[in-house]
Amino acid sequence: MSLVTGPGRASISASSLPTELQLSIAAHVKYIQTLDKRKDELEYHLTEHLRINGIYWGLCALHLLGHPEALDRDQVVDFVLSCQHENGGFGAAPGHDAHLLYTVSAVQVLALCDAMETLDERGKGDRSSLPGSTSSESGILGVGRYLAGLQNRRTGTFAGDEWGEEDTRFLYAGMLALSLLNKLHLVDVDLAVDHIISCANFDGGYGASPGAESHAMQVLVCLAALSVLGRLDAVSDKEKLGVWLSERQVDGGGLNGRPEKLEDVCYSWWVAASLSIIGKLHWIDEEKLTRYILECQDPEQGGIADRPGDMVDVFHTHFGIAGLSLLGYPDLVQVDAA
Amino acid sequence: MGRYEGNPVWDDVVPIPQEEGEGALAQIAYTDEYVEAMGYLRAVMAAKEHSPRVLDLTEHVISLNAAHYTVWLYRASTILALDIPIDKELEWMNEVALENQKNYQIWTHRQTLIDHIFPTLSSDPAAAQAFADAESAFMAEMFEEDAKNYHVWGHRQYIVRKFNLFDSDAELKSIEALLHEDVRNNSAWSHRFFLVFSNPAYTTAGSRATEHDPKIPDAMIDRELAFAQAAAHEAPQNQSAWEYIRGVLRKGGRELATLEGFAGEFVRIPEGGEEDIRSSHALDFLADAWSEKGELDKADMALRLLGEKYDRIRKNYWDWKRGLLRGAKV
Ligand SMILES: [Zn+2]
């Protein structure tokens, strides 16, 4: 999947705004389908380090649009498996180092394709050296062990790779993938929950690490991790958090990620999904947000941008559609906020 | 044969074909350069070569595509393997960071190298101080480009912890300078809270940002409140300052009502007349202070004003809060 931006631009000007804005479903499906046919563009190569994420974003958006068949399932699965390393982890593309974030995307794509068993059948993870596992489930176990090995057993959080950069994003990603693999027992869940609690800030939000500024994406990963782990009780003050989140909505209807920052479709998803997890989505003006996201689409060539007038890309296309699904937009498959 | 050479999964790397028109040639040259450099990078990585020429090669690849995480990891491992002094690397990294504001790999790289030299560095306090000063100076330069860069603030906390700068006057002063420039810089407020309320010299170890810490001296709470109150006067609608005030009060275990007079300076609601609200955050603050004191009718009036007039986009929230008040009344 190409991460190339364009060719479209979110192109509805305020003057031509129709009273009834519609999501251009067919255009978006076509836009995602053609992304991978743009290998002649420089940006295709420069974004190779995100390739597997791009596949996840594109495929997930297609599922929400009700067109999962628009990408060839076997090709997708083959590509994902070609990114795997002997240690069980996945890189962003063949030849890129294994990293937690790409491993999670790989697992998510396989889950979307209902192809998790291919890890056992054809995965590269070294299965022979795993004592105590039956050979039939060992490919999956290999991925689970790679992920579990990235947990810091002192603090509970996760590193992104063997170099140890830590971020609550990684904790969530690791937990999500382990739960999809049904291997949560390999990690210390209580320690991870404690770590998330220690990332809560005085303003009600969460940051990337203890003491780091509250940030909408970090809030979502903390909440989603707690949700996956069934530990939302660890959010001590849901009202304060809901207040901080709802304060992210600006007059135009979109949401920003931090005070005094610009609104953006991806932040709109992170904030709205967080509000939905704590049951407070109705604290923002949902109609205005729906309208904002629709203003960010290119209705002719497909794709969604970060804000009106900007170039579209698959990242914001995915988050825009996920946001609309969360808001109950008709004809979309219901998204899971966590 | 290298690990990547001849690997069929790399068949999809195709250079941009010749195109008509301006700029096409430059693009083609650039792509060829990148594709070629990557070919060599893959080859040296496969051979596990750690040599000075690998530093040149990785520098080249990073100059073409700083977001490529694998090349950073390989560069760090090469520097560690060669065990060379990192001064020049830091200088070079400063340039790359200034040119790539959104790049995060460079900060991991920087911390990997600082961790590596720290044991030696910390045995010489003067050298450690000089190093920390240089890091601060560089971050100040980064903040000139974007004073809210999340990665830079993350690095700042790393440096504060690593070099124990909690009591550093310069650190506090530099945050004040940033807030002087933009009193709405939420990142700077957040860092100030971290600096003041996790200082091991006078806080309870492990005290959460969201809880009362009885160990903190009253004078410190007073100082922080005065600072944030002055900022609220400067920009009454600045959410960051009001959040900070609430955060400090909670750290100090003080009630909101202790600042009722201060918040009241922003809100005038005469009997029967038109109200004058200079800050919706002040009105919100008063609503909580009043409900804390049991003055529920006043609190309800404030919440109604917020939902109907001063913060209409969140009307549902204000209505929900009014519902809580009604629940408290019966
Ligand atoms: Zn965005």
Tell me, what CATH number does A334's domain have? 1.50.10.20
List residues bridging with A206 in a β-sheet: A200
Q: At residue A43, does pLDDT exceed 80?
A: no
Q: Which of residues 234-253 of B touch A (CB under 8 A)?
A: 239-240, 243-244, 246-247, 250-251
Ligand 1: centre distance to CA B301 (Å): 38
Report the residue of chain B nearest A101, measured CA to CA: B69
Whether residue B7 and residue A95 make contact (CB cut-off 8 A), yes or no, is: yes
Ligand 1 centre to CA of A265 (Å) is 6
Whole-angstrom distance, CA of residue A321 vs CA of residue A313: 12
CA distance linking residue A35 with residue A130, whole number of Å: 39
In a domain, A75, yes or no: no
Which of B17, B153, B317 is opposite residue A213, by nearest beta carbon? B153
Handedness of CA B122, B124, B129, B131 (dihedral sign): negative
**What is the full per-residue pLDDT of chain B (330 aa) written as tens digits?**
222 334 343 233 332 222 222 333 333 345 677 777 888 888 888 889 898 888 988 998 898 888 777 889 899 999 999 998 999 999 999 999 999 888 888 999 999 999 999 999 999 999 999 999 999 999 999 999 999 999 999 999 999 999 999 999 999 999 999 999 999 999 999 999 999 999 999 999 999 999 999 999 999 999 999 999 999 999 999 999 999 999 999 999 999 999 999 999 999 998 888 899 999 999 999 999 999 999 999 999 999 999 999 999 999 999 999 999 988 765
Q: Has residue A253 been placed in a domain?
A: yes
Residue B30 contacts A where some CB pair is shorter than 8 Å: yes
Q: Do A202 and B194 touch (CB under 8 A)?
A: no
- Can you give the pLDDT at residue B34? 78
Maximum distance among all Cα pairs of chain A, rounded to whole angstroms: 66
Q: Tell me what the mean pLDDT of segment A143-162 comes to.
A: 90
Judged by a CB distance cut-off of 8 A, whether residue B123 touches chain A is: no
Q: Give the chain B residue nearest A36 (alpha carbons).
A: B12
**Which long-range contacts link A188-193 to residues 24+ away (Cβ below 8 Å)?**
A188/A151, A188/A153, A188/A156, A189/A229, A189/A231, A190/A156, A191/A151, A191/A153, A191/A155, A191/A156, A192/A151, A192/A156, A192/A157, A192/A158, A192/A225, A192/A229, A193/A156, A193/A226, A193/A229, A193/A231, A193/A234
Q: State mean pLDDT over A161-170.
A: 76
Verify cis geometry, omega within 30 degrees of 0, for the bond prior to B52: no
Residue B191 touches partner A, C-beta closer than 8 Å: yes
If you search the block for the tokens 């992920």, which residue do you land on?
A147
**For chain A, what is the domain count?**
1
Does some domain include residue A101?
no
Kindly list the protein residues that place their beta carbon closer than 5 angstroms to ligand 1, a single-atom ion: A 264, 266, 306
Pick from B3, B250, B317: CB nearest A202: B250
Residue B157 near chain A (CB below 8 Å): yes
> B146 CA to middle of ligand 1, Å?
17
Is residue A17's pLDDT more than 60?
A: no
B46 touching chain A per CB within 8 A? no
* pLDDT score, position B141: 95
Q: Which of A131, A158, A139, A137 is nearest to A88 (CA)?
A: A139
User: In this complex, which of A92, A161, A215 lies closest to B150 when CB atoms are compared?
Assistant: A215
Comparing A74 with A4, which gets the higher pLDDT? A74
CB pairs under 8 A between A and B: 136
Calculate how far, in angstroms, residue A65's C-alpha sits from the geometric centre of ligand 1. 20
pLDDT digits (tens, 9 = 90+) for A174-202: 999 999 999 999 999 999 999 999 999 99
Whether residue A108 lies inside any domain: the answer is no
Are the C-beta atoms of A151 and A174 separated by less than 8 Å?
Answer: yes
Q: What are phi and psi of A297, to 5 degrees?
A: -95, 155
Find chain B residues with C-beta within 8 A of A261's C-beta: 148
Q: What's the CA-to-centroid distance between B228 and ligand 1, angstroms?
A: 31
Q: Do B10 and A200 make contact, defined as CB atoms within 8 angstroms?
A: no
CA distance A311 to A296: 9
Does residue A16 lie within any of the structural domains?
Answer: no
Contact A242/B185, CB-based, under 8 Å? Answer: no
Confidence of residue A161 (pLDDT cuts 50, 70, 90): confident
Residue A159 bridge partners (DSSP):
A166
Smallest Cβ distance to B4: which of A92, A95, A163? A95
Q: Does B48 touch chain A (CB under 8 A)?
A: no
How crowded is the C-beta side of B101, counted as CA atoms within 13 Å?
10
pLDDT band at A5 (very low <50, low <70, confident <90, very high): confident
Confidence of residue A4 (pLDDT cuts 50, 70, 90): low
A-contacting residues of B 250-309, CB under 8 Å?
250-251
Reduced to 3 states (helix: H, G, I; strand: E, B; else coil), residue B191 is helix
Distance between CA atoms of A218 and A113, rounded to whole angstroms? 27
> What is the sign, positive or negative, of the torsion defined by CA atoms of B255, B258, B259, B261?
positive
Q: What is the largest CA-CA distance in chain B?
A: 88
C-alpha B16 to ligand 1 mean position (Å):
28
Distance CA B40, CA B38 (A): 5
Q: How far apart are CA B64 and CA B61, in angstroms?
A: 5
- Asked whether the beta carbons of residue A201 and residue B209 sit closer than 8 angstroms, the reply is yes
Angle at B39 between CA B35 and CA B44, to 5 degrees: 150
Are the beta carbons of A265 and A296 closer than 8 angstroms?
yes
Question: Do the Cβ atoms of A202 and B243 come within 8 Å?
Answer: yes
Minimum CA–CA partner of B251 in chain A:
A202
Tell me the ipTM for this assembly: 0.88
- Three-class secondary structure of residue A176 per DSSP: helix
- Reported as half-sphere exposure (CB side, CA atoms, 13 A), residue B184 has a value of 9
Using alpha carbons, list the distances in angstroms from residue A236 to A155, A241, A276.
20, 9, 17
Q: Tell me, what's the pLDDT at B13?
A: 30
Q: Average pLDDT of chain A?
A: 89
Task: pLDDT band for A1, please (50, 70, 90 cuts).
Answer: low
Residue A239 placed within a domain:
yes
Residue B187 has its nearest CB partner, among A197, A213, A243, at A213
Query: What pLDDT band is residue A209 in, cutting at 50, 70 and 90?
Result: very high
Q: Is B153 within 8 Å of A212 when comparing Cβ atoms?
A: yes
With 0-12 / 13-18 / 19 or more C-beta atoms within 10 angstroms meaning exposed / middle / buried, residue B156 is buried
Contacts of A288 in chain B (CB under 8 A): 313
Question: Out of A126-130, A270-274, A324-328, B124-128, which region has the weakest mean confidence (pLDDT)?
Answer: A126-130
Among the listed residues A133, A34, A35, A53, the one whose alpha carbon sits nearest the alpha carbon of residue A92: A53
The encoded tokens of residue A47 equal 């974004």
Q: Nearest C-alpha of chain A: how many angstroms from B113?
A: 11
**Amino acid sitting at position A251:** D
Tell me the nearest-neighbour CA distance from B46 into chain A, angstroms.
Answer: 10
Using the mean position of ligand 1's atoms as its centre, give its distance from the Cα of residue A198 in Å: 27
In a domain, A237, yes or no: yes
Which of B199, B283, B316, B320 to mutate: most A Cβ within 10 Å? B316
Are B66 and B34 in contact by the 8 Å Cβ rule? The answer is: no
Q: Is B42 on the interface with A (CB under 8 A)?
A: yes
Q: Residue B149 Cα, ligand 1 centroid: separation in angstroms?
A: 15
Ligand 1 centroid from CA A216, angstroms: 11
Which structural domain, as residue segments, surrounds residue A266?
201-338
Q: Which helix (H) or strand (E) holds B230?
A: helix B218-234
What's chain A's Rg over C-alpha atoms?
20
Q: Which residues contact B79 (CB under 8 A, 6 or more apart)?
A: B55, B86, B89, B113
Q: Which two tokens stand for residue A215?
A: 């940030």
For A329, phi and psi rounded to 5 degrees?
Answer: -60, 135
A45: nearest CB among B13, B240, B313: B13
Chain B contacts in chain A segment 100-159 (CB below 8 A): none
Distance in angstroms (rounded) separating the CA atoms of residues A111 and A336: 14
A300 part of a folded domain: yes
- Which amino acid appears at position B54 of this protein? V
